[in-house]
C-alpha cells in the first residue's frame, strides 16, 4: 500500500524583521510589518524516501536578523503545524517537507540574538530544539491530518 501526502495544501511563511512584535511570553511572529509567502501545493511520498518531496528555501536579503514563522495548512484551511526559523543577515534556510513529515523540524537560532525581537529575549524560546522535534503522537496526527 502506497502512503503519500498529496493534496492541495498550503505552506505559509510569515517573515518579520527585527524589531518585531510578538505575543507576550512567546517567541512568535505577530502583528507588524511582515510578508507572507504561500506555497499552494506540496507533495511528499512517505512510502519511499527516494521519491517525491517538496523543498523550499527562506532567505534574508537585508542586513538585519529575521524571524520567520512556517505554518502547514490542510486543504481544508486548518493549520496543523507551526515552527519558527531564525535567519541571520543574508542567511538562507532550506526546508525539506519530507524531514518535517518524518518529525524533524529545522533547528535554527542556537546563537540567535533574540533581544532584537520583542518578547523573544528568553533563550528557551529560541527556534532551536533537539531533532526529531515531534513526538510519535504528534507525528502520527500530522500525517493523519494531511493524508
**What is the pairing mode between strands 10-17 and 55-59?**
unpaired
The confidence score (pLDDT) of residue 19 equals 42
What is the pTM assigned to this prediction? 0.73
The confidence score (pLDDT) of residue 89 equals 84
Q: Among 104, 134, 128, which Cα is nearest to 114's?
A: 128
CA distances from 132 to 110, 129, 136 (A): 16, 8, 10
Above 90 in pLDDT, residue 137?
yes
**d(C-alpha 106, C-alpha 84), whole Å:** 9
pLDDT tens, position by position, 28-38: 555 555 667 77
In the chain, pLDDT over 70 holds for what percent of residues? 64
The confidence score (pLDDT) of residue 74 equals 86
The confidence score (pLDDT) of residue 82 equals 85
Above 50 in pLDDT, residue 121?
yes
pLDDT tens, position by position, 81-106: 888 888 888 888 899 999 999 998 88
53 compared with 16, residue with greater pLDDT:
53
Amino acid at each position: 500500500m502506497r502512503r503519500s501526502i498529496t493534496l492541495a495544501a498550503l505552506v505559509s511563511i510569515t517573515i518579520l524583521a527585527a524589531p518585531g512584535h510578538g505575543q507576550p511570553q512567546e517567541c512568535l511572529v505577530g502583528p507588524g510589518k511582515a510578508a507572507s509567502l504561500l506555497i499552494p501545493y506540496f507533495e511528499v511520498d512517505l512510502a519511499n524516501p527516494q521519491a517525491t518531496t517538496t523543498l523550499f528555501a527562506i532567505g534574508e536579503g537585508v542586513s538585519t536578523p529575521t524571524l520567520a514563522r512556517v505554518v502547514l495548512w490542510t486543504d481544508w484551511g486548518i493549520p496543523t503545524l507551526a515552527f519558527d526559523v531564525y535567519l541571520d543577515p543574508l542567511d538562507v534556510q532550506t526546508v525539506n517537507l519530507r524531514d518535517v513529515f518524518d518529525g524533524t523540524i529545522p533547528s535554527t537560532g542556537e546563537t540567535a540574538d533574540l533581544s532584537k525581537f520583542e518578547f523573544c529575549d528568553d533563550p528557551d524560546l529560541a527556534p532551536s530544539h533537539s531533532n526529531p522535534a515531534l513526538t510519535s503522537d504528534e507525528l502520527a496526527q500530522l500525517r493523519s491530518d494531511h493524508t
